[in-house]
Amino acid sequence: MFAMMLKATGIWILIVIAAIINGVIREKLIVPMAGIETALPLSGITLSIIIFLISLVSVPFIGAMESKTFLTIGVLWVLLTLSFEFLFGHYIVGKSWKEIMQVFNMQKGDLFIVVLFVTALSPWVAAKLRGIGG
């Protein structure tokens, strides 16, 4: 089980890199062209698709064979994502806790909650689509 969780964490690191690239593209390209009101939801949808595609490609690598393992991996990814968002955002980037909490503000167009939901379910759905897990 430890080896599977280690592999899953490695895949999550790829997701973080993709998320950072997605954020840079949002801030440097989409916001100046379309505004934050369009950029935030578009970025959330794009990131959700990227996370699912990474999951779809990577689930065979994990080596798990049970559905509950893929659900556990989804929970692990969500916990790692929240930890990264809060700890990196506050201690490295220097954002206030109030600023960081804005990622949960769907009224301003931030779809981080949707991204977390997709993150939680992607390993399980991807495994099902690939015929892995019982």
Predicted local distance difference test score (pLDDT) of residue 63: 87
Name the amino acid, one letter, at 86. Answer: F
Per-residue confidence band for 92, with pLDDT thresholds at 50, 70 and 90: very high
**How far is residue 32 CA from its own chain's centroid?**
24
Listed by start position, the domains of the chain span 2-129
Q: What is the pLDDT of residues 17-67, one digit of tens each?
A: 999 999 999 999 999 999 999 999 999 999 999 999 999 999 999 987 899
pTM for this structure?
0.93
Q: Which of 54, 98, 104, 105 is nearest to 82 (CA)?
A: 104
Burial code of 51-61, b = ≥16 C-beta within 10 A, e = fewer? bbebbbebbee
Predicted local distance difference test score (pLDDT) of residue 134: 67
Alpha helices in 26-134 (DSSP H): 31-34, 36-62, 67-83, 97-101, 112-129
Predicted local distance difference test score (pLDDT) of residue 20: 95
* Distance in angstroms (rounded) separating the CA atoms of residues 42 and 70: 27
Q: What is the pLDDT of residues 98-115, one digit of tens each?
A: 999 999 999 989 999 999
